[in-house]
Amino acid sequence: MNETIHVGTHVVCDACCRQILAGPNAEQLKLEREADPTICVNCGSDSGSVELPKLAGLPVCNPCETFFRNRPFPNWIKLSFAGVIALVVVSLAWNLRFFQAYAASKASFVSLARGDAEMASRQMSSAAKHVPESADLCVLATYMEGVTLLQRNQSAEALTKLTACGDKLPPQFGVEVLIADAKCGVAFDAKDYDGFLAAAEAVERLRPNDCMGTATVASAWACKYAQTGDVPAQQKALSLLEQARTMTPGSPDFKEYENRIMHQLQSREIITREEFVRRFPKGWTEQ
C-alpha cells in the first residue's frame, strides 16, 4: 500500500503513475501517495490492525513522533549560532567607543539646553576623545569649550576657541554673536574702550531688539565717559539704557547689568563684574 499512489480516482503503482502523467490533462490530476495507517512512515514498524496517530497527515509510531517533535538541532546550526553570538560580542566590544561617543554627545546637548555649559563641555570633550577621527565632534568640543570660557569671562581664550570653529558650524549655533561677545570682553580687559564700543555695536547689530545687546553698547559709552569725563558719552549711555529698559521690562539679567552701568556712570570707576559683586553683593545704590 505504501508503494502506491492515488491519482484522481485510481490507486496505481509508480510505473502506471508515470504513464498516466505522460498522457493528456496530466496537470489537472491530483496526486497523493497512499500510506498504510498501521505502518510508521519513518521506521516502518507495523502496529498490526491498530491505526497509528498521524503527524502532518502521515502515520507515525510514538517513538518517531517524539523524535520529530523534539528533534535536536544539528551541530552545524549550534556552531553557526555560537559563531554569530561571538561575532556580535566582538563587534560590540570593538565599536563600544562609538556608542560611548554618541551617548556623551547627546548628554552634552541636554546639559547645554539646561544652561550647564561646563558639564556640556566636559561631555563633548569626552565624546571627541572616544572618536578622535571625527572632525565634527572635535569642532563641537572646541565650541563647547569656547562657550564655557566665555561664561568664565576668559574672553581671550574663548575668542581663540570660537574663532577656530566659527566657519565649521551652522548659523543656529550663534558662533558669530559669541565671537562678538568675546571681542567685547577682550577689549574691556585690555582697557581698549574704543575697541569695546566697536565690538558692542557689532553685538547690537547681531542682536536686534535685544535689551542686552543695547545695554552692552551703553556699557561701552559708560566706560568712555568714566575714562574721559566726556558728557556726551554719559548722555549716550543713559539714552541707550532707557531704550534697553523699554525692550524687556523686568528682565533680571538686564537689571543687574543696568545697576553696574549706573555705578560706573556715577563713580567713573571701571571694575569687573566679579569685583562689583564682591563689593555690592546686594546691588549698588547711590546711598
Q: Where are the domains of the chain?
A: 5-69, 101-190, 192-287
pTM score over 0.75: no
Q: Quick check: 197 and 221 in contact, CB under 8 A? A: yes
Write the CATH number of the domain with boundaries 101-190: 1.25.40
For residue 168, give the DSSP letter: G
* pLDDT tens, per residue, the chain with 287 residues: 777 887 777 788 888 888 877 877 777 777 777 778 888 888 888 888 888 888 888 888 998 888 888 888 889 999 999 999 999 999 989 999 999 999 999 999 999 888 898 999 999 999 999 999 999 999 999 999 999 999 888 999 999 999 998 788 998 888 999 999 999 999 999 999 999 999 999 999 988 888 999 999 999 999 999 999 999 999 999 999 999 988 876 788 889 999 999 999 999 999 999 999 999 998 998 87
C-alpha cell of residue 44: 516502518
Instruction: Considering only CA atoms, give the Rg of the chain.
Output: 42
Q: Kindly report the length of the chain.
A: 287
Q: Largest Cα–Cα distance of the chain, in whole Å?
A: 124
